[in-house]
Structure 1
Amino acid sequence: MDRLDDLKLFTLVAETKSFTKAADKLGLSKSAASRRVAELEARLGTRLFHRTTRSISLTQVGQGFCQRVSQILAELEEAERSVTSEHAAPRGTLKVAAPMSFGLSHLAPVLCGYMERYPEVQVDMDVSDRFVDLVEEGYDVAVRIGRLKDSSLVARRICPIRMVVCASPAYLARRGTPQTPAELVEHDCLLYTNSQSFDQWSFRIAPGSAETQGVRVQGRMRVSNGDVLRQAALAGLGIVVLPSFIVGDDLLSGKLRGILTEYTVSEGALHAVYPANRHLSPKVRAFVDLLATSFGPVPYWDAGLVVLKGG
């Protein structure tokens, strides 16, 4: 057994938390598997596992080593597949990062369809609003919303993301409907704190104009998740700026009302991004293509919203 086989054995022991199960998968005896891992630890000069008579778990050093080794083995597997066939069927583990609100409301059904279509693919998805480092954390692809920063990542635009200023009819009846962005300073605004300038909303002052007007807003609620802000808006707590994929149904039903529709809020797009220095494997290519056909070029959640006016 060479060093590569030792590393595969190590990851199997870490995954199964059992020398017996790992040994069975590789056709080894338990004693041989235990001896090979011990030799690996001796070669590295550190303990990788905590061992007791009842359990086995990774040490802190072992956890870091396992993450790096797993990434290396996955990249080696993809490199081999890229040589054997560019058009191979998608297989292996697809590690995806996606924002929480979009992931729950819109990406989940697409992901289920992807897994049904490609039964040899396993999916490991992180659904959160944190900004992940694809390269450092070993992600294959991320779904990102907004304006992208310059980086070494490859980005494929999937569809536009439309931002909507809205509030409940009850709030507008109680506090009045602002007719210009400047009037927002007199209102309770619901603030999304994952935005760098969460307390300053920018509006394009005229259709087709590049000139924008920034308004400093304030409010009692500051939240890092769009769905929570949607609930606050439905409860009549204030005015909010949210993407139409979160509030589209509420606008169509009348539970929320679009305001300041003459002024365009700065908009972005939905992108699929992946590291530029990696071969685009069949599993990633198939996933990105499915995003494009499912959401682009005009997303289904915007259907009918063009006729909405504030009031």
Structure 2
Amino acid sequence: MDWLSAVRSFVVLSDMGSFTKAADVIGVSASAMSKRIDWLEKQLGQTLFVRTTRQVSLNENGIRFLSYARNWVGQFDDMIEQAQGSELEPQGTLKIAATQAIGSSLLMPVIKQFLDKYENLTIHLNILTPGSPPDLEHDLVITSYYEEFDSAAHKGIRLADYQMTVFGAPSYLSQCEKITAIEDLAAHKMLLSNYYQKKGGIILEDGSLFDFSHYNFVSDHLDALMKAAIQGMGLIFISPQYVARELKQGVLIPVLPDLKSEVKQLWAYYPNTRFTPYKTRLFIDELKQSLTRLKTVI
């Protein structure tokens, strides 16, 4: 038995919560997986899991050990990728977290292109609550830039700048008086994410505050917000990149196109290790190229 095999098995088992599922991922039998974990626990002098007949979960020792284990296994994989060079075909799993809006509108087309190129890769895309800081459980976290987030455990790269503006359905706008100034918006309800409902407003390009006190629908589900806007339930203040499909289809159109939020930033955060995994760097490059293309057509 060796440390690398045992620690790698530990990380996979913590993710899968099942000896059988973890063994399938690693490519060994369930009994071999169990022996690796037993060996690791004996070497450390402590148990790492709570075992029941249905599942396996980390105990307090395991939770503390997991971050170190992920970091060590990740650094080893990074070292191998760096040594083999950029001709290496990326393999394994890339765990990404993003808000539902970013995942649906920006990431899914990139993920499809990426997996078409690299068939030996698997991508896990998890939902990040708007306003939540990046965590070390993911290889990559795509989110808006937050000044209050300052973690030595992360690296970050600025992907793109964007601004938010107001959109509505043609059917809705045709039934109300023409909107010609920001003051006219007071007569209309806004469709908001939970994040902006809690903030109560957004800073505009000129530094003033646009008040979100008038709203009738709140959700973090982008598809629900889009359907609400298309059905004429109200107006939506959002980045054009998130509604590119709806704009192309003509089911949403700009309202007061010159009314824009302050410039906001989209960032990619990833663990601050000595070597950034090759698959992470490849995905960031693919995403940046996609965002550049998207910006030119909006």
Q: TM-score range by the shorter chain?
A: 0.7 to 0.9
Alignment of 1:182-221 (within 5 A): 182-195=183-196, 198-204=199-205, 211-217=206-212, 218-221=214-217
Contact 1:147–1:268 (CA under 8 A) maintained in structure 2: no
How far off is 1:177 after superposition?
A: 2.9
Cα offsets for 1:261-287 (capped at 9, x unmatched): 233332324332223444212111111
How far off is 1:162 after superposition?
A: 3.9
Go from structure 1 to structure 2 and tell me whether the alpha carbon gap of 1:44 and 1:68 turns closer, same or farther (over 3 Å shift). Answer: farther
Go from structure 1 to structure 2 and tell me whether the alpha carbon gap of 1:36 and 1:97 turns closer, same or farther (over 3 Å shift). Answer: closer
Contact 2:75–2:274 (CA under 8 A) maintained in structure 1: no
SS at match of 1:142: strand
Equivalent residue, structure 1, for 2:70: 71
Q: Does 1:266 align with 2:265?
A: no
SS at match of 2:174: helix
Equivalent residue, structure 2, for 1:207: none
How far off is 1:165 after superposition?
A: 0.6
Identity of aligned residues (%): 20
What code does the residue aligned with 1:228 have? A
Equivalent residue, structure 1, for 2:221: 225
Go from structure 1 to structure 2 and tell me whether the alpha carbon gap of 1:175 and 1:20 turns closer, same or farther (over 3 Å shift). Answer: closer
SS at match of 2:103: helix
d(CA) in 2 for partners of 1:19 and 1:262? 53
Moved over 6 A (4+): none
Equivalent residue, structure 2, for 1:118: 118
Cα offsets for 1:56-89 (capped at 9, x unmatched): 6335447636743651453242343256244352
Go from structure 1 to structure 2 and tell me whether the alpha carbon gap of 1:264 and 1:95 turns closer, same or farther (over 3 Å shift). Answer: same
How far off is 1:198 after superposition?
A: 4.2
Equivalent residue, structure 1, for 2:271: 275
d(CA) in 2 for partners of 1:29 and 1:185? 63
Equivalent residue, structure 2, for 1:94: 94
Go from structure 1 to structure 2 and tell me whether the alpha carbon gap of 1:133 and 1:149 turns closer, same or farther (over 3 Å shift). Answer: closer
Q: Does 1:80 align with 2:75?
A: no
d(CA) in 1 for partners of 2:21 and 2:249? 58
Q: Does 1:235 align with 2:236?
A: no
d(CA) in 2 for partners of 1:286 and 1:126? 19
d(CA) in 1 for partners of 2:6 and 2:167? 58
Contact 1:159–1:299 (CA under 8 A) maintained in structure 2: no
d(CA) in 2 for partners of 1:257 and 1:202? 22
Equivalent residue, structure 2, for 1:165: 166
d(CA) in 2 for partners of 1:157 and 1:3? 37
Aligned-residue RMSD, C-alpha = 3.6
SS at match of 1:220: strand
SS at match of 1:125: strand
Contact 1:110–1:291 (CA under 8 A) maintained in structure 2: yes
Cα offsets for 1:100-143 (capped at 9, x unmatched): 12322332232122223223433222134445554x43322122
Equivalenced residues, count:
290
Contact 1:203–1:213 (CA under 8 A) maintained in structure 2: yes
SS at match of 2:209: strand
Range 73-82 or range 239-248, more displaced: 73-82
TM-score (normalizing by structure 1): 0.75
SS at match of 2:268: strand
Range 232-241 or range 171-180, more displaced: 171-180
d(CA) in 1 for partners of 2:62 and 2:108? 29
Contact 1:49–1:62 (CA under 8 A) maintained in structure 2: no
What code does the residue aligned with 2:170 have? P
d(CA) in 2 for partners of 1:77 and 1:4? 9
Structure 2 gaps of 5+ residues are none
Equivalent residue, structure 2, for 1:309: none
Equivalent residue, structure 2, for 1:155: 156
What code does the residue aligned with 1:84 have? A
Range 151-160 or range 232-241, more displaced: 151-160
How far off is 1:195 after superposition?
A: 3.1
Cα offsets for 1:136-163 (capped at 9, x unmatched): 4332212224666553443333333342
SS at match of 1:176: coil
SS at match of 1:178: coil
